[in-house]
Amino acid sequence: MDIYEKNFTEPIEVQQSLIRFHAGDADEIQYAHILYELSSTFNDTFSLHPYTGELYLISNNNLQTTYEFDIYAYDRHRKYIINNNIKTKARIKLNFQENKIYHQIKRIFNEIIKFKE
């Protein structure tokens, strides 16, 4: 199992990509279609693109300072097979600094206003 840990010290915006995962497959060139799945209940906070493995922040309401969860990668044709050897699991830990989380509003004439909660 791979372990990823990332610390965010810069301002984080909604819809910002946080980290990208990549899993390989022996028949990747011809047949593989790797899918990624978030194994937690943080679907209101994060979104994991099922094809690219890119994790996005989709809401910073009540954002905690630390999140720990798993991400699974699997061949799309074998998701429901019982043999767990075909799934890859990665453990994720994300650390956010509370005072660096911003909201952003785009106004008319493309003016961007950033503010803290």
Q: Which residues pair with 115 in a beta bridge?
A: 103
| CB neighbour list of residue 35: distance below 8 Å, 6 or more residues apart | 50, 51, 73, 74, 75, 76, 79
Helix, strand, or coil (residue 98): helix
| CA 57 remoteness from chain centre | 7
Q: How many domains, the chain?
A: 1
Residue 11 to residue 99: CA distance in whole angstroms: 9
Residue 17 to residue 56: CA distance in whole angstroms: 4
Helix, strand, or coil (residue 113): strand
Structure-token pair, residue 102: 């911003």
Domain that includes residue 36, residue range: 2-116
The CATH number of residue 60's host domain is 2.60.40.60
The 10s digit of each residue's pLDDT in 32-47 is 678 898 887 778 889 9
pLDDT averaged over the chain?
A: 78
The 10s digit of each residue's pLDDT in 47-101 is 999 999 999 999 888 778 899 998 988 877 665 544 555 667 888 888 887 654 5
Backbone torsions φ then ψ of 52, nearest 5 degrees: -100, -20
